[in-house]
């Protein structure tokens, strides 16, 4: 009995950063909730040409069946419902983006039985031969889509990677942009693959610079799985990630505020039992003022609840682990960002 109680106590201690509440102030202004999540291999069970998805079929190496897909979708539903019932949020995300979705159909079907079923979908097919895309859904009652475009990431003599996607929105008359990223992985060797992430960073920076050239204080939210951490060269040197809000305010044309700055919770991904911050949300200087869209105190959170972590608390409870089916949520944790709509 003592061992059991000790185990429960240690588990709760390990999970404390995950469970720490946001302590949001009472709402006196309108707000929006944005979500980013690498949902880990959200595939349907069909064998589609070309052969990139073969392993995620009933007869493939992963044995991906309808039953496993339904379990995966139930996991997604529970995460969204937990956000909606959380006292810190009390709503479904107004804008949500999932990485690693195979196609629009499975993305839409995974949201169909959730409180986001009425969200509209923006979807661009990725050139990634495995069919790993980024799916975006938004609530038409709170935001209006005004534009969108997918940008190719040029990588010479290698397999194509995911597009960088930018979507323009308007909320209560305030325009803003959301940029979505899923940069090349660190497979084989981080330094060898760094050039690919730098190529993606240059594309993302070009988009941000174009938006800021039209309006230096444009409201821009950049979300993604960057497969690098905030202090790596691709983020810091090429995209302009900064942990200093004052520097961002004084260098609107070149820097972006990284929301991990000062965050005391766990990271979104675990490698060799070390929490990493490879999923990130970055903000333009326009998001740091009190005009249009802005961020309140402590607007950012890496969201989880106990079931989303392994019992050790050292990594997410993933769908697959070392090639074996585990039936968990994802190998990444989602990120949430709450923004306020300021009155003119």
- CA 75, CA 246: separation in Å to the nearest integer? 39
Q: What's the number of CA atoms in the CB half-sphere (13 Å) around residue 167?
A: 22
Rg of the chain over all Cα atoms, to the nearest angstrom: 19
Percent helix, strand and coil across the chain, each rounded to 5?
30, 30, 45
Cβ proximity of 200 and 232 under 8 Å: no
Per-residue pLDDT of the chain (344 residues), as tens digits, is: 444 444 444 444 445 556 555 544 434 459 999 999 999 999 999 987 666 778 888 988 999 999 999 999 999 999 999 999 999 999 999 999 999 999 999 999 999 989 999 999 999 999 887 879 999 999 999 999 999 999 999 988 778 899 999 999 999 999 999 999 999 998 777 777 899 999 999 999 999 999 999 999 999 999 999 999 999 999 999 999 999 999 999 999 999 999 999 999 999 999 998 999 999 999 999 999 989 999 988 899 999 999 999 998 999 999 999 999 999 999 999 999 999 998 76
Report the predicted TM-score, pTM, of the whole model to 2 decimal places: 0.92
Residue-level pLDDT at 159: 81
Q: What's the number of CA atoms in the CB half-sphere (13 Å) around residue 6?
A: 3
Residue-level pLDDT at 19: 53
Residue-level pLDDT at 156: 80
- CA 125, CA 106: separation in Å to the nearest integer? 13
Q: Quick one: tokens of 175?
A: 């325009």
Which class for 298: exposed (0-12), middle (13-18), buried (19 or more C-beta within 10 A)? middle
């Amino acid at each position: 009995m003592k061992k059991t109680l000790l185990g429960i106590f240690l588990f709760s201690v390990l999970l404390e950063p995950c469970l720490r509440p946001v302590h949001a102030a009472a709402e006196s202004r309108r707000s929006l909730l944005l979500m980013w999540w690498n949902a880990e291999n959200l595939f349907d069970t069909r064998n589609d040409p070309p052969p990139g998805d073969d392993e995620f079929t009933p007869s493939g190496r992963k044995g991906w069946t309808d039953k496993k897909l339904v379990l995966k979708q139930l996991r997604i539903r529970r995460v969204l419902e937990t956000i909606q019932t959380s006292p810190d949020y009390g709503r479904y995300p107004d804008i949500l983006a999932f990485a690693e979705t195979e196609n629009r159909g499975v993305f839409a079907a995974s949201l169909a039985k959730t409180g986001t079923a009425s969200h509209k979908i923006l979807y661009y097919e990725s050139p990634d031969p495995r069919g790993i895309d980024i799916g975006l859904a938004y609530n038409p009652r709170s935001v209006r889509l005004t534009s969108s475009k997918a940008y190719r990431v040029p990588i010479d003599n290698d397999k194509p990677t995911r597009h960088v996607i930018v979507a323009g929105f308007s909320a209560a008359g305030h325009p803003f942009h959301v940029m979505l990223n899923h940069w090349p992985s660190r497979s084989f060797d981080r330094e060898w693959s760094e050039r690919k992430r730098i190529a993606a960073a240059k594309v993302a920076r070009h988009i941000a610079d174009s938006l800021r050239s039209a309006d230096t204080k444009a409201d821009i939210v950049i979300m993604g799985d960057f497969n690098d951490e905030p202090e790596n060269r691709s983020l810091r040197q090429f995209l302009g990630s900064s942990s200093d809000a004052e520097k961002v305010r004084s260098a609107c044309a070149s820097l972006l505020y990284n929301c991990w700055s000062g965050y005391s919770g766990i990271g979104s991904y675990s490698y060799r039992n070390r929490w990493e911050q490879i999923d990130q949300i970055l903000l333009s200087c326009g998001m740091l003022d009190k005009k249009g869209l802005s961020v309140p105190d402590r607007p950012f959170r890496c969201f989880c609840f106990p079931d989303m972590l392994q019992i050790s608390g050292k990594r997410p409870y993933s769908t697959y682990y070392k090639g074996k089916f585990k039936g968990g949520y994802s190998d990444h944790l989602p990120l949430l960002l709450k923004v306020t709509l300021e009155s003119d």
